Amino acid sequence: MKNILYLFLIILLIVLALLDHDKNGVAYNPLFHKSGDNNSSNISMPCGLGGSHNHKH
Amino acid sequence: MENFRKSEIPYLLVGIFLSIFILNFLHQELGLRHVLVFSIGLGLGITLYHASFGFTGGWREFIEHKKSSSLRAQIIMLAFAVVLFSLSIGNKSLIYDGNMVGAIAPLSISVIVGSFIFGFAMQLGGGCGSGTLFTAASGNTKMLVTLIFFIIGSLVGTYHFTFWSSLPSLGTISLIDKFNAYENIGMQLSFLFLLYIGFSFLESKRNHQINHLDIFKTSNFNIVKGPWPLFLGAVLLAILNFFMLHAAGHPWSVTFAFGLWGAKIANIIGINVGEWDFWQLSYPSTALENSVLADPTTVSNLGIILGALIAVNLAGKFSNKSNINSKLFLAAVIGGFFMGYGARLAFGCNVGALFSGIASGSLHGWVWFLFAFIGSIYGVKARKYFY
């Protein structure tokens, strides 16, 4: 029974992600870069790491 | 197939089917690089589970018994990653036409406080960022509770982000920028070597012996079903993080996605997190407005979850459930919440800040390591009230 519940939770997580994808779409793909785009600040690390423009320190 | 527990074959097939479904979906909707990030996540999940590679238990073993095998494996993992990353960061990716960035964050009060809190809490919660993810996915009830409160803590951390980020900071210090890639490799490998010697010395002093080959061995090694030796896990994790750097454009991270999932859920129940300062920063605001599947951290986390699910069923241990009592539940709640909160203050967890930070030559990674370890010493003492 616990195994079924675990699978249900994992599938629920995936379904919620798919619903969010359906609702919001992909207006901006963070992994999409124009060919030859070497501006590293465009490729920000999540939570503000990487791109210096994300830091307010 | 007769070597597998027959009762777990359906769960194994479900894990494989879900992985194929997501791979196909990502290919159709988001492109090849998301497919690669998810595939790397699958590899990370399988490696983490089969090698039982976690920071929490290894640190506790050293703090309590001065057994250093896990710490030595982590140092070897960092050494491999430092070499691979130093020669890549700032250069063009092997996969796409653009430069890659490291996990560089400021050396600040928030990192010191956040890493201390994280180190303390991970001993209560029973797992670090990656550890919580792969153990929760492999069927550990307590770690599922830890994960839920990890998400809540991450969200609350983003609410307080303005206060913590206003505290004194030395700014970002990148050894690769200050020196060059080869000098960075020389300095960091020297320091890692000294750490290895130091941990080994303390183990041999306390236990009167040390076996440096213990990380290469494991009982009943099996490449498909596990377990794997720590050394294999260390090397694979360094290589997979290197692949992540080239596929995503930044190193492996885990906990940003937890905050994002919490923010998405908060939005659903009517809390407008978009007004919070953190969610108005460049990347977080983009991630909040977009599909959660556009966020590479979410995609790699999904890969880790399904990779761990596949691995635990290959090992035939999905049915081995542990019971959770009220004390353990409370430990999971407190540990999970404060790991999430600490990770937001410290610009990541043991993966995004320690592993990827040190590999990227960022000094904040070393500060994270030091203060999380100190926090763990107190966390191990506090743990005795719950376990």
DSSP secondary structure of B338-359: HHHHHHHHTTS-IIIIIIHHHH
Q: What is the mean pLDDT of chain B?
A: 93
pLDDT digits over A2-49, tens only?
788 888 999 999 999 999 999 988 876 666 544 444 444 444 555 444
Please name which of B171, B179, B160 lies closest in space to residue B259, comparing C-alpha atoms: B160
Whole-number Å distance between alpha carbons of B338 and B125: 9
Per-residue pLDDT, A32: 57
Nearest by CB: A24 against B22, B291, B302: B291
From chain B, pick out residues whose CB is under 8 angstroms from the CB of A5: none
Mean pLDDT of B340-356: 95
Per-residue pLDDT, B382: 97
Pick from B108-122, B135-149, B186-200, B314-328: least confident: B314-328
**Of A52 and B286, which is predicted with more confidence?**
B286
Q: Which residues between 31 and 50 in chain B have a beta carbon less than 8 angstroms from any beta carbon of chain A? A: 31, 33-34, 37
Mean pLDDT of B368-384: 97
Q: Binning pLDDT at 50, 70 and 90, where does residue B286 land?
A: confident
Nearest by CB: A10 against B25, B137, B293: B137
Whole-number Å distance between alpha carbons of B8 and B28: 31
Q: Binning pLDDT at 50, 70 and 90, where does residue B139 land?
A: confident
Residues B75-92 as b/e (b if ≥16 CB within 10 A, e otherwise) read bbbbbbbbbbbbebbbee
From chain A, pick out residues whose CB is under 8 angstroms from the CB of B319: 3
- B72 in contact with A, Cβ within 8 Å: no
pLDDT digits over B238-261, tens only?
999 999 999 998 899 999 999 999
Nearest by CB: B108 against A48, A51, A57: A57
Whole-number Å distance between alpha carbons of B353 and B166: 19
pLDDT for B90 beyond 90: no
pTM (2 d.p.): 0.93
Whole-number Å distance between alpha carbons of B70 and B283: 34
pLDDT for B14 beyond 90: yes
* Helix, strand or coil, per DSSP, at residue B171: strand
ipTM for the whole complex: 0.90
What are the residue boundaries of the structural domains of chain B, listed by start? 6-93+103-383
Neighbours of B6 (CB within 10 A): 9
Per-residue pLDDT, A55: 37
Maximum mean pLDDT: which of A19-33, B50-64, B159-173: B50-64
CA nearest A4 in B: which residue? B11
What are the residues whose beta carbons fall under 8 Å from the beta carbon of B107, sequence distance 6 or more?
B169, B170, B171, B172, B173, B363, B364, B367
pLDDT digits over B124-134, tens only?
999 999 999 99
Task: Tell if the CB–CB gap between A46 and B306 is shorter than 8 Å.
Answer: no
